[in-house]
């Protein structure tokens, strides 16, 4: 993190649940003094952290914001490439809300294709060429946002807490008339989830039971309660739900906890109960 401060202004939002003063003292001391550090003291979710970080950038008058999490590796060339690309596109008069690189996770088979939403599912867009590609969403980490479009599109949806936050924001950006563009000539190393498992020739990214609660809950809530979410995305996620519900308990090493959290996520998604997870009390 400290090396980033040599290239760009850095804001760190620490969502680690702990005493705020102890957390701020220990983490802030290890950071470069040029970095602006926020210790939440409680896990408020990725959406809240992203909103807080972007608020800090806007307050300082920046034009662009680069979202990163701890699972991504970035270089000066990647940062420069993202900023120069979005600046050039906007100078051409295009309303671009977001640009991002292709991400490479060797554990999941290498470079992941970009994605568009089709009428009945997802269409995978090959990572090739030297021109920006119109896509329908990008993963948040590694994405560069035009902050002038932030008030138009709106903030990240904190009620979702973590999963599908980036997808939902990109859908709103497209509905607002902005472009979301993948830059195939830029690549970023990114680890998606925990150690994946391979079943019948397919590789599945694995997460904790806590994380799977949000995956199932948010998918169902967005499918049934957000009319603006594209039909192709909804159908794709509906098809994945039973497969995930089988794979995660069987191959996680913690089947009972996985089943409990998945079931709770399904229930809360069906009744549109969002926000942070509360273990004691439904």
Residues 249 and 140 in one domain: no
What confidence score (pLDDT) does residue 257 get? 97
Residues 185 and 201 in one domain: no
Tell me the percentage of the chain whose pLDDT exceeds 90: 71
Q: Which domain holds residue 216?
A: 197-270
Q: Is residue 35 part of a domain?
A: no
Residues 6+ apart with CB under 8 A from 116: 122, 123, 125, 134, 135, 136
What confidence score (pLDDT) does residue 1 get? 72
Distance CA 215, CA 250 (A): 17
What confidence score (pLDDT) does residue 41 get? 81
Confidence at 280, pLDDT banded by 50, 70, 90: low
Distance CA 45, CA 63 (A): 25
> What average pLDDT does this structure show over 271-277?
96
**Residues forming a β-bridge with 109:** none
Q: Is residue 278 part of a domain?
A: no
Q: Is residue 85 part of a domain?
A: yes
Q: Is residue 12 part of a domain?
A: no
Both tokens assigned to 169: 């924001």
What confidence score (pLDDT) does residue 51 get? 97
From 240, 138, 118, select the one nearest 182 (Cα to Cα): 138
What confidence score (pLDDT) does residue 94 get? 96
> What average pLDDT does this structure show over 193-198?
77
What confidence score (pLDDT) does residue 24 get? 55
Residues 208 and 112 in one domain: no
Distance CA 277, CA 265 (A): 9
Q: How many domains does the chain have?
A: 2
What's the pTM? 0.93
pLDDT at 281 exceeding the cut of 70: no
From 214, 229, 209, select the one nearest 275 (Cα to Cα): 214
Residues 159 and 201 in one domain: no
Q: Is residue 91 part of a domain?
A: yes
Phi first, then psi, for residue 47 (nearest 5°) are: -65, -45
> What average pLDDT does this structure show over 149-172?
98
Domain stop point among 163, 190, 217? 190
**Alpha helices of the chain — where are they, by DSSP H?**
20-30, 46-59, 76-91, 150-153, 165-175, 209-225, 231-251, 255-270
From 142, 155, 164, select the one nearest 67 (Cα to Cα): 142
Q: Is residue 28 part of a domain?
A: no
What confidence score (pLDDT) does residue 183 get? 98
Phi first, then psi, for residue 16 (nearest 5°) are: -65, 125
| Long-range contacts of the stretch 255-259 (C-beta < 8 A, 24+) | 257/209, 258/209, 258/212
Confidence at 193, pLDDT banded by 50, 70, 90: low
What confidence score (pLDDT) does residue 15 get? 84
Q: Identify whether the C-beta of residue 215 lies closer than 8 Å to the C-beta of residue 207.
A: yes
Tell me the percentage of the chain whose pLDDT exceeds 70: 95
Residues 6+ apart with CB under 8 A from 215: 163, 207, 244, 265
Q: What is the pLDDT of residues 14-64, one digit of tens each?
A: 888 765 555 555 667 888 888 899 888 888 999 999 999 999 999 999 999
Distance CA 24, CA 14 (A): 9
Residues 67 and 186 in one domain: yes
Residues 179 and 214 in one domain: no
């Amino acid at each position: 993190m400290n090396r980033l401060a040599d290239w760009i202004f850095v804001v760190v939002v620490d969502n680690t649940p702990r005493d705020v003063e102890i957390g701020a003292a220990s983490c802030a001391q290890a950071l470069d003094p040029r970095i602006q550090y926020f210790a939440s003291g409680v896990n408020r979710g990725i959406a809240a952290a992203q909103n807080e970080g972007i608020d800090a950038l806007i307050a300082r008058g920046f034009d662009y914001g680069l979202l990163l999490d701890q699972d991504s590796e970035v270089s000066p060339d990647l940062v420069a490439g993202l900023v120069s690309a979005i600046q050039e596109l906007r100078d051409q008069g295009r309303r671009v809300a977001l640009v991002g690189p292709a991400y490479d996770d060797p554990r999941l088979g290498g470079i992941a294709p970009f994605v568009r939403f089709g009428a009945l599912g997802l269409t995978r867009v090959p990572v090739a060429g030297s021109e920006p590609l119109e896509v329908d969403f990008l993963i948040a980490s590694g994405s560069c946002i035009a902050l002038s479009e932030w008030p138009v599109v709106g903030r990240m949806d904190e009620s979702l807490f973590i999963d599908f936050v980036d997808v939902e924001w990109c859908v709103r950006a497209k509905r607002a008339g902005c472009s979301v563009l993948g830059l195939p000539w830029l690549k970023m190393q990114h680890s998606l989830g925990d150690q994946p498992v391979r079943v019948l020739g397919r590789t599945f990214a694995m997460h904790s039971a806590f994380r799977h609660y949000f995956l199932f809950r948010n998918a169902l809530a967005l499918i049934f309660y957000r009319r603006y979410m594209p039909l192709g995305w909804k159908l794709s996620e509906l098809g994945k739900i039973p497969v995930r519900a089988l794979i995660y308990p069987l191959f996680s090493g913690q089947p009972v906890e996985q089943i409990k959290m998945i079931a709770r996520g399904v229930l809360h998604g069906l009744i549109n109960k969002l926000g942070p997870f509360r273990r004691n009390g439904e």
